[in-house]
Amino acid sequence: MVELLIVTGLVIWSAIFVFKKVFPKSAYTVFMKLSQFCRRKGWVRLADWLQPAMVMGCGGGCGCSTDDAPAKKTEVQAVKWK
């Protein structure tokens, strides 16, 4: 029984993750409407958790949000053999 709950949870989490990556604009809309519904019902903590982050920068619907940190470039150093 426990295995069934764990597998079910992983499948649901994976489906939500893929939905957010493949359809970022639709996912933003769905999670915003869910957040607004929860806020109207008085479930503020759940509404804050469901509310999507605002998209900054490109705005092209690529799914990058404000919590994505820019990639830091590391300087490539030559190996010196002795």
Q: Average pLDDT, stretch 1-23?
A: 93
Q: Is the pLDDT of residue 78 over 70?
A: yes
Residue identified by tokens 């590391």 is: 74
What pLDDT sits at residue 56?
Answer: 61
Residue spans of the domains in the chain: they are: 2-50
Q: Average pLDDT, stretch 12-25?
A: 91
Residue environment code for 45-58, b if the CB has 16+ CB neighbours within 10 A, otherwise e: eebeebebeebeee
pTM of this structure: 0.58
What pLDDT sits at residue 14?
Answer: 95
Q: Is residue 34 very low, low, confident or very high in pLDDT (cuts 50, 70, 90)?
A: very high
Query: Mind listing the pLDDT tens digit for each residue in 47-74?
Result: 888 888 876 655 555 555 555 556 677 7
